[in-house]
Amino acid sequence: MGVLVVGTVTLDTVETPQKRVEDVLGGSGTYAAVAASFFCSPVRLVGVVGADFPQTYTDSLNDKRIDLEGLTRVENGKTFRWGGRYSEDFNVRDTLFTELNVIADFHPTLPNSYKDTSYLFLANDPPQLQLSIIEQTSNPKLVVCDTMDFWINEEREALEKTIERVDILILNDSEAKLLTGESNLLLAARAILRYGPKRVIVKKGEHGAISITESSFFSAPAYPLTQVTDPTGAGDSFAGGFMGYLASVDDVSEGSIRKAMMYGTVVASFNIEDFSINRQKSVQFSEIEARYEELQEAVRF
Amino acid sequence: MGVLVVGTVTLDTVETPQKRVEDVLGGSGTYAAVAASFFCSPVRLVGVVGADFPQTYTDSLNDKRIDLEGLTRVENGKTFRWGGRYSEDFNVRDTLFTELNVIADFHPTLPNSYKDTSYLFLANDPPQLQLSIIEQTSNPKLVVCDTMDFWINEEREALEKTIERVDILILNDSEAKLLTGESNLLLAARAILRYGPKRVIVKKGEHGAISITESSFFSAPAYPLTQVTDPTGAGDSFAGGFMGYLASVDDVSEGSIRKAMMYGTVVASFNIEDFSINRQKSVQFSEIEARYEELQEAVRF
C-alpha cells in the first residue's frame, strides 16, 4: 500500500547555536513524505512551490521515489519561506519570519490517480484545505491529521470540522492543552476523543509520545540522542514514518499502531541529526531496524 | 532483606491551586521509608524531629512497621519545617519558607543494629551527613543517594566526595544538567558516571525516568495519572519503592533494577493522589501490582 501526503514544501532558514542555513528544503509535506518513503510505495505528495524552487530539491524528492504529480509549480510565484531560531538547548524555537507566498492561494485538486488512496496523511495545513482533501478522496482506510497552535487560535471552527472527520489526530503536548484547556495531558487527550477521532497521538519531543483511545494507552519512548543538529521536521518525520509503516503492513490494529509509532520515532531521530533532509539521504533501512531494536530493549522490564 | 533510609522528617505547609494544608507529615526520609515499607522489612529510618512532632505522625510511621530506633527526638528543639506552593499545572513549585531547626545540628550516630545494613538509601540531606553515614556502615551491598540543586550550588566539593562513594545517584533532570553543565540529558548522565557511580537514574517527573550505566539504557514511563493532588514527595517515594523492591528480591541485576524503577513509579503515582502520606495509608499491595501490570502493557510494542 501507498501513502498520500498533503503538506507544505518550503524553503527554510534555520539558525541553531552552532550554524545557520538558508533556503534549505523543508516543510511538513517534505519531511512526512521522505519519512514514509523508507517503508512503502508509492508515496504521493500534494503541495505547491514557486518558480524559485531549485531543481536539486526536486531531484532529492525524486531520489526518494516520491510521486510528484500532485506537486503544483506556480510559474509566477515564490515558494513558501519560513525562518526560525533555536535556543541553546533546542527547547525553544522562535519563528523569525513566515512568507506564505504561493501557499496563500493554494486550493489543490487531487489528481484522479490519487483519489482512491487508502492511507491519507494531512500534514500541518489550513484546516479548510485539509477538509477539502478528505472530501476529494473515496473512503480511505485511515485518515490522519496534524495541526498546530496557529490554527487552534485562528481557525478553531474549521479545525473542529476537520478533526471530526479524521481517524487519528496527531499534535504536540502544548497544542493538546491549548485545544482543550486541560492542563493534564491525559485529560486533554481524552477530551480530544470527544471531537471525533478514534485515537489521539500526543508528541512530547525529547520525552517521546503517547497514544490514547477509549480503551488503550501507549507510552512511546524517545530515541536517546546525543547529537542534536536541527529538530525542524522531527514531528512531521514521526508522522510520516508512522503512516509509511502502517501502509506497508496495511493494518491499523493497536499492535501495528504501536510499531508504527516506534518506526516514526526512529526516522525522527535520524532527521534531527542534520539540517533539512540531509541525514535521510544516507540512512539505510538496516540502521532504522537497529534503532528500533534498541528502543525495544530500552523499555523492556 | 531490609532497607536503611536516612533523610528528613518534616512538617510541611503545602499550597496547591485547590487546597492548603499546614504542618502535615513530610520529608524525604518519611516518603522514602513509607514507600519502601510496601516491599520489605525491616525499614529503618534515621532522622531527627523536635518536641513538637505530633504523636499521631509517629503512630502513622509505626503503622507502616517502620523501625524508628534511629529517629532522634530533640526535646528542646523544633521540627524542620518547609512550605511550598504549586502552580496551576503543578509544573512549578515555589519554596515559601525553610526552617531547618533541629536538622541544622544533626550529626547522626547509627544504632549498632543498623550498621550491617545491605541496602542503604541516602535521601536528600547535606552531602557531609550522607558521607558520614556511609562511613558508619560496614560494606553495604547497595548505596543509593539522592541530592538537590541546593547542594550542587552550595556544597559541590563535599557532594563530589559523596557521589564518588555511591553505587547509584538519583536526581532530577534539571539537577543532572546543573551538576554537569550538559544540556543534553544523556550526555549529562554519562558525565555523572565519571564521578564514580556505576549507575545514574534521572527523574523527569510526569515524563518518567531514565537509567544509565556504561552499557545500558532504560526508559521508564510515568504512570498516566488524571488526579494530581500534591506532587510533594513523589521523587522520594520513587526512590523508596525502588530500594524496597531491590531489598525484597536481594538482587541488583539490570533486570531487577528495571522492575524496581517501575515499582517506585507506581508508589510515586499513589503518593501524588493525596497530601502527605494519606494515600499510602490505604494502598493495598494488589493495587500496586495492578498499576505495575498496566505499565507493562503501556510500553509493549
Predicted complex ipTM: 0.93
Residue with cell 501495528: A256
Q: Among the residues of A233-301, which ranges form H helices?
A: 234-249, 254-271, 278-282, 285-299
Q: Chain A 216-255, CB below 8 Å of chain B: which residues?
A: 217-222, 224-226, 228, 255
**A109, A248, A285, B56 from A42: Cα distances, Å:** 19, 10, 17, 70
Q: Which structural domain range is residue A150 located in?
A: 3-299
The whole-angstrom separation of Cα A80 and Cα A9 is 7
CATH code of the domain covering residue B240: 3.40.1190.20
Give the pLDDT confidence score for residue A184 in this predicted structure.
93
Q: What is the pLDDT of residue A170?
A: 98
The total of other beta-carbon atoms located within 10 Å of residue A91's CB is 11
Dmax (CA) for chain B in angstroms is 58
Q: Indicate the residue type of B276.
A: S
Q: Where are the alpha helices (DSSP H) in B200-284?
A: 234-249, 254-271, 278-282
Residue A60 binned pLDDT confidence (cut-offs 50, 70, 90): very high
- Burial class, B185, CB count within 10 angstroms (exposed 0-12 / middle 13-18 / buried 19+): buried
Q: Which residues of B touch A218 (CB under 8 A)?
A: 298-299, 301
Average pLDDT over residues A247-264: 98
pLDDT the model gives residue A44: 98
**Residue A88: is its pLDDT beyond 90?**
no
- Segment A218-234 mean pLDDT: 96
- State the pTM of this model: 0.96
Tell me if the bond preceding B42 is cis, omega within 30° of 0: yes
Q: What is the pLDDT of residues B67-121, one digit of tens each?
A: 999 999 999 999 999 999 999 888 889 999 999 999 999 999 999 999 999 999 9
* Number of domains observed in the structure of chain B: 1
Residues of A in Cβ contact (< 8 Å) with B208: 207, 219
3-state secondary structure of B263: helix
Hey, are the CB atoms on B208 and A207 less than 8 Å from each other? Answer: yes
B300 touches chain A (CB under 8 A): yes
Average pLDDT, chain B: 96
Q: Does A92 have pLDDT greater than 90?
A: no
Q: Is B208 on the interface with A (CB under 8 A)?
A: yes
Which of these, A205, A297, A231, lies nearest to A86 by C-alpha position? A231
Is the confidence at residue A111, as pLDDT, over 90? Answer: yes
Tens-place pLDDT, residues B2-35? 999 999 999 999 999 999 999 999 999 999 999 9
> With an 8 Å Cβ cutoff, is A298 touching chain B?
yes
Asked whether the beta carbons of residue B225 and residue A186 sit closer than 8 angstroms, the reply is yes
pLDDT of residue B89: 84
Asked whether residue A89 carries a pLDDT value surpassing 90, the answer given is no
Cβ pair B180, B212 in contact under 8 A: no
- Tell me how close the Cα of B223 comes to any Cα of chain A, in angstroms: 9
Q: What's the confidence (pLDDT) of residue B91? A: 81
pLDDT tens-digit map of B174-221: 999 999 999 999 999 999 999 999 999 999 999 999 999 999 999 999
Chain A residues with beta carbon closer than 8 angstroms to that of B301: 218, 220, 255, 258-259, 261-262, 296, 299
The set of cell numbers assigned to A285 is 533501512
Q: Is A142 left (phi over 0), alpha (psi -120 to 50) or beta?
A: beta
Among the listed residues B178, B175, B235, the one whose alpha carbon sits nearest the alpha carbon of residue B205:
B235
B262 contacts on A by Cβ (under 8 Å): 301
Q: CA-to-CA distance for A146 and B103, rounded, in angstroms? A: 53
**CB contact A207 to B (< 8 Å):** yes
- How many other CB atoms are found less than 10 A from the CB of residue B202? 24
pLDDT, tens only, A119-148: 999 999 999 999 999 999 999 999 999 999
Neighbour tally for B63: CB within 10 Å: 12
Averaged pLDDT score across all residues of chain A: 96
The CA angle B59-B64-B69, to the nearest 5 degrees, is 70
Q: Do B298 and A217 touch (CB under 8 A)?
A: yes
CB-CB neighbors (< 8 A) of B186 in chain A: 224-226
CB–CB of A301 and B220 under 8 A? yes
Mean pLDDT of A148-175: 96
Q: Is A187 on the interface with B (CB under 8 A)?
A: yes
How many whole angstroms separate alpha carbon A31 and alpha carbon B274? 44
Residue B4 CA neighbour count, 13 Å, CB half: 27
Residue type, B86: Y
Percent of chain A topping pLDDT 90: 96
Beta strands in chain B (DSSP E): 3-6, 10-15, 20-26, 43-50, 66-67, 71-74, 81-86, 93-99, 119-122, 142-146, 168-172, 199-203, 209-212, 217-220
Task: Report the candidate in A264, A217, A212, A196 with the shortest Cα–Cα distance to residue A32.
Answer: A264
